[in-house]
Amino acid sequence: MHGCPDAAMAGFYFVGTIIVIKQQLLNRIADKSAVIGIVGLGYVGLPLMLRFAEVGYKVLGFDIDQSKVDALMAGKSYIEHISADSIATALERGFEATTDFSRAPEADTLILCVPTPLNKYREPDLSFVLDTMDSLVPYLREGHLVSLESTTYPGTTDEELLPRMESRGFKVGENAFLVFSPEREDPGNPNFTTRTIPKVCGGYSPACQEIGVALYSAVIDKVVPVSSTRAAEMTKLLENIHRAVNIGLVNEMKIVADKMGIDIHEVIRAAATKPFGFVPYYPGPGLGGHCIPIDPFYLTWKAREYGVNTRFIELAGEVNSAMPDYVVAKVAAALNLRKKAINGSRVLVLGIAYKKNVDDMRESPSVFLMEKLRDLGAEVSYSDPHVPVFPKMREHHFALSSVALDAATIASYDCVLLATDHDKFDYTLLKQHAQLIVDSRGKYLEPADHIVKA
């Protein structure tokens, strides 16, 4: 009989300890004494760091790239739309970058912002997430919040991160915490900032959810809680698959319209005047960026585990993946009409970033266009005011620098291929002096004998 009160007291003490651990972290977030750890200082992690520093948190940034860490600690930026001044200000506010993962215990939160690409078989490559987590696991401590922001398939957080955290003896939801909160950065978009873009957050447990919402609410105007990490993971996939499918639709319609002698861009502009029931999406030379070309494959891969074939999504992927070949065929046909072959022709690709007005090269369709043209024997050059030198990429290699555009230079090329429609290009100058323009972005509204829509 004497053992029962002691057991009850032990249980009460344990529950009380759990409550204390959670409340201590909530208090530190509330009074801004929490140290925010951000792992991966790229297009997602760096803006998030700036926002946390802006509101008064000390931020400790982790990255495996020593050159990035050195640049940041010197007050320099390696992303065009992030100024060196903003980095310098963050340093003054206590920001520090390091490659030393053993410093993870200094942080109260560890926010993972690392790539989730596809492998050569177009299957999810979680190596960056898992390697990062494995590097952090030895240094996890009681009270840590781990938040994954990298886009991935539903179940990743629970199936991969949770057991790694609990391998250290923690009970997630009691003395350590885990959430998934997908990034929603849109580089180069002046209308939205990290602060103003609503943030979805799903926790492994109610306690995890409470802490995750508190963390992001401190720096973001609106946080949208969802019921689980899986719901949050699926939300991100739906957002990007929605875009991929609709872009696949207009890309397919572009081909049909072209056969019929109709300008699809004119049709889209006209349809967009409808004030309800229609959202304009625009065709292009292929999909680019870190999300839209990749995310659908994360869902289709995971869906097979449940015996589901995502035919609709995969069809859109096939259409979008075929766009670079379609554009190259248009270049070949246009040159052929002028009694020229691609082999030996000088082709200038305009814009090699994946979208206008940024320096982001991830999954850029321009690079696939350049490779296909080179393989066919073209002498390929590029011009991009945002990418002065072709960067080192895992799978693509060009020893090229951006060509400065003037009348004589433009006229010297057999074909100018408009791949990314940066605002900095002088489209009037290009139209006046180019022998041939293949426009894959619908930039030129008025028809001309030397302009071919692609």
Which residues lie below 8 Å from residue 296, measured CB to CB, with a gap of 6+?
Answer: 237, 240, 241, 244, 310, 313, 314, 316, 317
10 Å Cβ neighbour count for 320? Answer: 24
CA distances to 24, 25, 153, 165, 183 from 211, rounded to whole Å, are: 11, 8, 23, 17, 17
Identify whether 291 is a catalytic site residue: yes
Looking up tokens 């003037």 gives 406
Catalytic residue among 113, 201, 291, 415: 291
CA atoms within 13 A on the CB side of 311: 0
10 Å Cβ neighbour count for 434? Answer: 23
CB 56 within 8 A of CB 131: no
CB 346 within 8 A of CB 416: no
Q: Catalytic residue numbers? A: 291
